[in-house]
Amino acid sequence: MTEGSSGTLTVDAPADSATDRLVSALRAFADGHGGATAVVEYVGRRGARIVLVGKDGVWGDQFAQDTDTARRACELAALSVENSWERELVESMAPTNDLWRSMGRRLTAR
């Protein structure tokens, strides 16, 4: 070691690109729909599902590795997070005709 060196190397931790991409996707959805509300759902080994409901009634989802990551991403994206599916939130959702058709196909395919 050279004189004056401490022998300890300090490295800044790299930004978690998966979380950064998740936050960007959440912000993009909210920006495209006049704001959004999120509901975080635990889905087992898959992690956590973030269901987004836009102010215009459009909804979508994103996945995170766990519920803590999902809630943190929502916080970084400045989204309000509901702890459950309240009636007002569900009633504000406006499923598209394509979604209704795809749900019907899944039901009849069983």
Q: Where are the domains of the chain?
A: 17-108
Mean pLDDT of the chain: 79
Residue with tokens 């019907």: 104
- Predicted TM-score (pTM) of the model is 0.69
What is the SS3 assignment for 28?
Answer: helix
User: How is 59-106 classified by DSSP, letter by letter?
Assistant: EEEEEESSHHHHHHHHHHTT-EEESS--HHHHHH----HHHHHHHHHH
Q: Who's near 3: CB < 8 A, 6+ residues apart? A: none
Report the C-alpha gap between 107 and 13 in whole angstroms.
47
pLDDT tens, residue by residue, 41-90: 999 988 999 999 999 888 888 999 999 999 999 999 999 998 877 777 77
* Token code pair at residue 55: 């102010």
- Within 10 angstroms of residue 34's Cβ, the number of other Cβ atoms is 11
